[in-house]
Amino acid sequence: MTRSLYLCNVRLADGQQVSVSIVDGRIDALGADAAAPRDAQIEDGGGALLLPGFVEGHTHVDKSNWGRPWYRNEVGPLLTDRIGNEREWRRTSGHDAAAQSLALSRAFVAAGTTRLRTHVDIDTDARLRHLEGVLATRQTMRDTLDMQIVAFPQSGMLIRPGTVELLGEALAEGADVLGALDPALIDGDPVASLNATLALAQRYRKPIDIHLHEPGEIGAFTLKLLLDRVQASGMQGQVVVSHGFCLGALPERERDVLLDRIADLRVALLTSAPPSCTVPPLKLCREKGITMFGGNDGIRDTWTPYGVPDMLERAMLIGMRYDLRRDDDLTIAFDCVSDAAARGCGFADYGLRVGARADLVLVDAETVAHAVVTRPVRKLVVANGRIVARDGVLTPPRA
């Protein structure tokens, strides 16, 4: 039997009243005249604002404490303090990557996220345990949440022998993307680290998403080494640089040389828009044709107490970080957690258009900017053509 849904009486960002016809999980028609498919479930949107399902471009569902007792953070201030503390916590807390990733993923969907890229820790202590947990969550959520898994060497790669091999196993077992982390300041050897990352990605034919926290001039140095290798290896369009704090702290001339190469090599940039760090210049990146998108990074874990699985709140924080106040500017913040994020991660069939996967969100808001700053309860979430949440709460699974 054909599965169909007809969402009528909803409003596009430009104010146009439309209906959406959905057949077999796809948008079949969208417009003022879209007719109801035969035998469709009919849903009246009550004039609410229609948005595409949100895209989380960078998070860590494997190690969130979402829904668990409060974690009292007493961690030291260094990156290495946080990494070491987390390894210890994983060993001693009864950490369960499957249960914890499922709890957070469900909360994401309830708040309108239908696509998500998550970085999953791979190291010589945890080995592939996190990956297995998140693969189980991906399987459980497969009809609802389109999840990309990054095999991420959180504890460093070259500095922990055996990690390269584990990353390879992870890619063979279902990870979609190869992660990497601070080749100079964590791995201690930027050339060897980047060479190993590029070799691994090419061997498994996977794209790369590198966490580059390295600041200022050292970050610029590492970034240039990376871009050289992207160019030499023909990996144009297959690399994301996450964080890229250095791009917010360089002299303009030096920064612009890097941004122009980033644009040429179709490298995408991810930001969580942290208010206490320098960040790449959002509007300038867009002007240069760079895909720059947004993500929460960790949510309520041993690294950070902050974060909620709500991409409208992340869009608001992006807006605040970049001082976007005008309504038209705030649509940029929303783009960072919708179209630009889908493009940056390479999620297919995305968007409010005929033929796309029917991932939709309804909210009571006058404009996109209004939705971003007020973060209203999600009236309705449709994923893959099915209603999966109402008023912020997941609907029971279909019989």
The residue ranges that bind a copy of itself (CB under 8 A) are 69-70, 72-75, 273-276, 300, 303-306, 316-317, 319-323, 325-328, 330, 365-367, 369-370, 373
Name residue, tokens 């290798």. Answer: 229
Which residue number, 151 or 324, has a Cβ lying nearer to a copy of itself? 324
Residues 6+ apart with CB under 8 A from 45: 7, 8, 9, 10, 11, 362, 379, 380
Nearest to 115 by CA among 59, 65, 68: 59
CB atoms within 10 A of CB 255: 18
Smallest separation, CB 74 to a copy of itself (Å): 6
Strand partners, 173: none
Separation of alpha carbons 323 and 319, rounded Å: 6
Which residue number, 31 or 376, has a Cβ lying nearer to a copy of itself? 376
Strand arrangement of the beta sheet that strand 208-212 belongs to: 54-59, 113-121, 146-152, 177-181, 208-212, 239-243, 268-271, 292-294
Which residue number, 31 or 274, has a Cβ lying nearer to a copy of itself? 274
Smallest separation, CB 116 to a copy of itself (Å): 21
Residue type at position 238: Q
Smallest separation, CB 69 to a copy of itself (Å): 7
Smallest separation, CB 335 to a copy of itself (Å): 16
Strand partners, 357: 26
Which residue number, 217 or 366, has a Cβ lying nearer to a copy of itself? 366
- Written as six digits, the tokens of 159 are 């500095």
Which residue number, 65 or 197, has a Cβ lying nearer to a copy of itself? 65
Which residue number, 207 or 309, has a Cβ lying nearer to a copy of itself? 309
Smallest separation, CB 129 to a copy of itself (Å): 25
Nearest to 319 by CA among 255, 375, 249: 375
Which residue number, 225 or 320, has a Cβ lying nearer to a copy of itself? 320
Smallest separation, CB 55 to a copy of itself (Å): 22
Dump strand ranges (E) for the chain: 4-11, 17-23, 26-31, 41-52, 54-59, 113-121, 146-152, 177-181, 208-212, 239-243, 268-271, 292-294, 360-363, 378-383, 386-390, 393-394
Smallest separation, CB 239 to a copy of itself (Å): 27
Which residue number, 204 or 306, has a Cβ lying nearer to a copy of itself? 306
Smallest separation, CB 272 to a copy of itself (Å): 11
Q: At what angle do helices 216-233 and 190-204 cross, to 10 degrees?
A: 40
- Farthest-apart Cα atoms in the chain, separation: 62
Dump strand ranges (E) for 202-256: 208-212, 239-243
